[in-house]
Amino acid sequence: MEKRRKRKINPFTAAMFVVLALHSLSLILLFIWGVGASVKTDYDFRFNVFGIPKEWTFENFVLVWNNFGTQVRIGMEIKRFYIEGLLFNSFFYALSCAFVGTMSHCIMGYITAKFKFKISAVITTVVYVTMVLPIIGTLPSTLQVVDTLGIYDSWFGVWFMSAGFLGINFLIFQAAFKVIPSDFAEAAQMDGAGNFYVFTRIMFPLVFKTFSLIYLLAFIGYWNDYQSPLIFLPSKPTIAIGLYYFNSSRDGVMGSIPVKLAAAVVSLLPIAVIFAFFHKKLLGNLSMGGLKG
């Protein structure tokens, strides 16, 4: 029986492993500390900042559920959104924008991979250039365009801004479609299938695993996003916007750090549930081919 060859560990790889391990450990410890502090009383937190809670209490979560919220001005009216409304807006914003953004990347990747248009190379080059060159200072012009089109402060407006194709996701979908043999599409077209049928019934199912992975990552990104809803969707605040304002609150009991950490834990729960159910997909590699998407 041949002895297994021992792999030589590259010093750079070992150093990177140590750095990433320490970074991961710091994040895990910070998360555990935050959850532990969220079940402390204000008195216990002041005199026992880093220790185990001496008296566990879930009153902080009750306070958050009953009082956490933010108010916005809609025309001449001031409306207050509580946690139920904030969570609804967050789910709708993250689910819809993630779908629009992922689908637009998928469609553009399919078109440039399977249709030999001259503009396909131009589109791919534009994506590479925008990934290399930093694009800053576009917020004022984006606001002007959205306002001119009459889609400011509307769901259609944020969907419109999410429907882009620039970035790494476009390249992932393009690579996924390129490795799928054209025989699938040609066989369907010989039977009279159109381009829409080929994409929706043949090509898309083959990259569905890739689509679902990118969609999950996009959902997490939109869930944590507070800047875009704050600027472009002011009348429909999300849970991230509520935390943004709540962080600077000094309003009595609601201003204590354990209550603020309890609010952060509540906002984190949907992401934690998603990670618990889909962690294998999120941590796995992208498998792309004619039979696996």
Q: Which domains does the chain have, with CATH numbers?
A: 10-57 (no CATH), 65-283 (1.10.3720.10)
Region 77-92: mean pLDDT is 85
Q: Which amino acid, 283?
A: L
For the cut 60, the answer to whether the pLDDT of residue 293 exceeds it is: no
**Which of 27-36, 74-83, 217-226, 263-272 bottoms out in mean pLDDT, i.e. has the lowest?**
74-83
Question: Quick one: DSSP state of residue 289?
Answer: S
pLDDT range class, residue 169, cuts 50, 70, 90:
confident
153 is written with which tokens? 């402060």
34 is written with which tokens? 């935050």
Please tell me the distance from the alpha carbon of residue 103 to that of residue 214, in angstroms, as a whole number: 10
pLDDT range class, residue 136, cuts 50, 70, 90:
confident
pLDDT higher at 194 or 156 = 156
% of the chain with per-residue pLDDT over 70: 89
pTM of the predicted protein model: 0.79
**What pLDDT score does 46 carry?**
79
99 is written with which tokens? 């779908």
Q: Which amino acid, 48?
A: N
Region 234-254: mean pLDDT is 78
**What pLDDT score does 281 carry?**
64
pLDDT range class, residue 252, cuts 50, 70, 90:
low
pLDDT higher at 92 or 72 = 92
Burial class from Cβ neighbours inside 10 Å (0-12, 13-18, 19+) for residue 145 reads middle
> What's the mean per-residue pLDDT of the chain?
80
Please tell me the distance from the alpha carbon of residue 190 to that of residue 182, in angstroms, as a whole number: 12
